Structure 1
Amino acid sequence: MTEIKLTFIGTGDAFGSGGRLSTCFYVKAPDSGFLIDCGASSIPGLKMNGIDIKDIGTILITHFHGDHFGGLPFFLLEAAVCRCEKPITVVSPPGCKEKVTQLLSLLYPGTEVLEKLNISFLEYQPFETIVTGGLKVQAYPVIHSEAAFPHGLRIHIADKIISYSGDTEWTDNLIPLSADADLFICECNFFNLQVRGHMNYQSLKLWLPGLTCKKIILTHFDNEMLNNIDQIDAECAFDGMKVDI
Structure 2
Amino acid sequence: MKVTILGSGDAFGSGGRFNTCLHVEAGGEQMLLDCGGSSLVALNKTGIERNRLSTLLFTHFHGDHFGGLPAFLLEAQFVSRRTQPLTIAGPRGVEQRALQAIENDFPGASGNAWRFPITYVEVTPETPATLAGVAVEAFPMEHDQRAGPCQGYRLQHGGKVFAFSGDSAWTDALIPLSAGADVLLIECYTWDQVLANHLDYGTLREHRADLGTKRIVLTHMGPLMLAHQEELPEARAHDGMVLSL
Per the normalisation by structure 2, the TM-score is 0.93
CA distance in 1, matches of 2:217, 2:153: 15
Distance 1:83-1:186 versus aligned 2 partners, 3 A rule = same
CA distance in 2, matches of 1:171, 1:55: 35
Shift of 1:15: 0.9
Please give the secondary structure, in 2, of the residue aligned with 1:172.
coil
Matched, 1:94 2:92: yes
Structure 1 regions of 5+ residues with no counterpart? none
- Equivalent residue pairs, number: 242
RMSD, aligned CA:
1.5
Shift of 1:47: 1.4
CA distance in 2, matches of 1:103, 1:178: 31
**What code does the residue aligned with 2:52 have?**
D
Aligned to 1:16: 13
Please give the secondary structure, in 2, of the residue aligned with 1:204.
helix
Q: Deviations over 1:25-76 (max 9, x none)?
A: 1012241011111111111111111211112111110011000111011111
Alignment of structure 1 residues 1-245 onto 2, 5 Å:
4-81=1-78, 82-111=80-109, 113=112, 115-148=114-147, 149-245=149-245
CA distance in 1, matches of 2:118, 2:86: 5
Shift of 1:131: 2.1
**What code does the residue aligned with 2:8 have?**
T
Find runs of 4+ consecutive structure 1 residues off by over 3 angstroms.
110-114
Please give the secondary structure, in 1, of the residue aligned with 2:139.
strand
Shift of 1:109: 2.5
- Which stretch shows the higher mean deviation, 124-133 or 227-236? 124-133
Structure 2 regions of 5+ residues with no counterpart? none
CA distance in 1, matches of 2:36, 2:180: 27
Shift of 1:113: 4.2
Q: Verify the 8 A CA contact 1:127 1:141 in the aligned structure 2.
A: no
CA distance in 2, matches of 1:141, 1:22: 21
CA distance in 2, matches of 1:196, 1:75: 31
Q: Deviations over 1:121-169 (max 9, x none)?
A: 1012334311233121111101111111111111112322111011111
Please give the secondary structure, in 1, of the residue aligned with 2:207.
helix
CA distance in 2, matches of 1:190, 1:86: 41
Shift of 1:114: 6.1
CA distance in 1, matches of 2:162, 2:182: 6
Q: Verify the 8 A CA contact 1:80 1:114 in the aligned structure 2.
A: no
Identical residues among aligned pairs (%): 39
**What code does the residue aligned with 1:203 have?**
T
CA distance in 2, matches of 1:114, 1:216: 43
Q: Deviations over 1:187-207 (max 9, x none)?
A: 001101111110000010111
CA distance in 2, matches of 1:37, 1:133: 14
CA distance in 1, matches of 2:91, 2:26: 24
CA distance in 2, matches of 1:210, 1:16: 30
Distance 1:62-1:39 versus aligned 2 partners, 3 A rule = same
Per the normalisation by structure 1, the TM-score is 0.93
Q: Verify the 8 A CA contact 2:26 2:134 in the aligned structure 1.
A: no
Please give the secondary structure, in 1, of the residue aligned with 2:114.
helix
CA distance in 1, matches of 2:2, 2:123: 25
Please give the secondary structure, in 2, of the residue aligned with 1:221.
coil
Please give the secondary structure, in 1, of the residue aligned with 2:48.
coil
CA distance in 1, matches of 2:242, 2:213: 19
